[in-house]
Amino acid sequence: MQVLVWRGGSAAMNGYEVTEPQLRCVLPFEAEPAEMSVLRKAVRSQLGHWGMLTVADEAELAATELATNVIKHVGHGVAATLVLESRRERLRIELHDKSYASPSVVAAGWDEECGRGLHLLSGMAEDWGTLLTATGKAVWCELRLKPLRHCARLQRAAVVLEGYRRAGGGTQTLTPSYAVLEESVTDIIADLLHWLAAQGGDPDDILDRAQMHFEAESEAA
């Protein structure tokens, strides 16, 4: 099960507050080995919706290592939560559990079980750490998003799509299928064309211009 939340950040620009939409996904799960494959699939599916598949392999590995650490050092079957959040050029991954004990990385002695996954995590992530919360702790890491030319457009589109689905009363508890998302995209385009026509614009002209921009950027990518 997952819950999607569209959250805004703010940045100052010429004396004004500019809201920067962020994408956030919350994935509650039980810390069991059998749940790992389900968790990895959910991570990859969500990153696909956000246009971030370039870091899907690393994100799946990070999520697996963090969840495995909970199983080993907090307990089998305990309630835990994985949080994915886009932060400009980084993807932040947080694993929340109800233990206040902070993990540590093994500096040497690879025969030891404790800390192996975190050693791997520290070498893979741009940054990582532990944050104490009111109910336990969160171990987090941040992965750098690949600098693809179209990445920003995909993320903005994902934000619009999530907001549109919420406005239309779409469920936020399950990962939407491609067919559901495709239908929402069609509805968004139709609504924008209705809005444009109401302002006296030419929908056909806008569609032609959008297609030209899309083709030009696709060829340049």
Same domain, 192 and 103: no
Q: CATH number, domain at 13?
A: 3.30.565.10
The residue out of 129, 144, 159 marking a domain boundary is: 144
Q: How confident is the model at residue 2 (pLDDT cuts 50, 70, 90)?
A: very low
Same domain, 131 and 166: no
Q: What is the pLDDT of residue 74?
A: 92
Mean pLDDT of 171-183: 66
Take residue 14 and report the two structure tokens written for it: 């010429």
Contact of 70 with 80, CB cutoff 8 Å: yes
Same domain, 56 and 99: yes
Number of domains present in the structure of the chain:
2
Question: In whole angstroms, what is the distance from residue 8 CA to residue 160 CA?
Answer: 12
Query: Dihedral of the CA atoms 160, 161, 163, 164 (nearest 10)?
Result: 110
Same domain, 175 and 79: no
The residue out of 102, 126, 144 marking a domain boundary is: 144
| Structural domain that includes position 21 | 3-144
Question: In whole angstroms, what is the distance from residue 64 CA to residue 215 CA?
Answer: 38
Q: What is the pLDDT of residue 1?
A: 40
Same domain, 91 and 196: no
Same domain, 140 and 177: no
Instruction: Tell me the longest C-alpha to C-alpha distance in the chain.
Output: 71
Same domain, 127 and 193: no
Same domain, 109 and 159: no
Question: pLDDT digits over 50-66, tens only?
Answer: 888 889 999 999 999 99
Q: What is the pLDDT of residue 169?
A: 66
Q: How confident is the model at residue 21 (pLDDT cuts 50, 70, 90)?
A: low
Q: Which of 66-70, 193-197, 213-217 has the lowest mean pLDDT?
A: 213-217
User: Is 208's pLDDT higher than 80?
Assistant: yes
pLDDT higher at 178 or 121: 121
Dihedrals φ, ψ of 3, to 5°?
Answer: -125, 125
The residue out of 144, 165, 180 marking a domain boundary is: 144
Take residue 86 and report the two structure tokens written for it: 């886009």
Question: In whole angstroms, what is the distance from residue 84 CA to residue 95 CA?
Answer: 9
Q: How far is CA 199 from the centre of its chain?
A: 35
Tell me the whole-structure pTM to 2 decimals: 0.65
Same domain, 40 and 104: yes
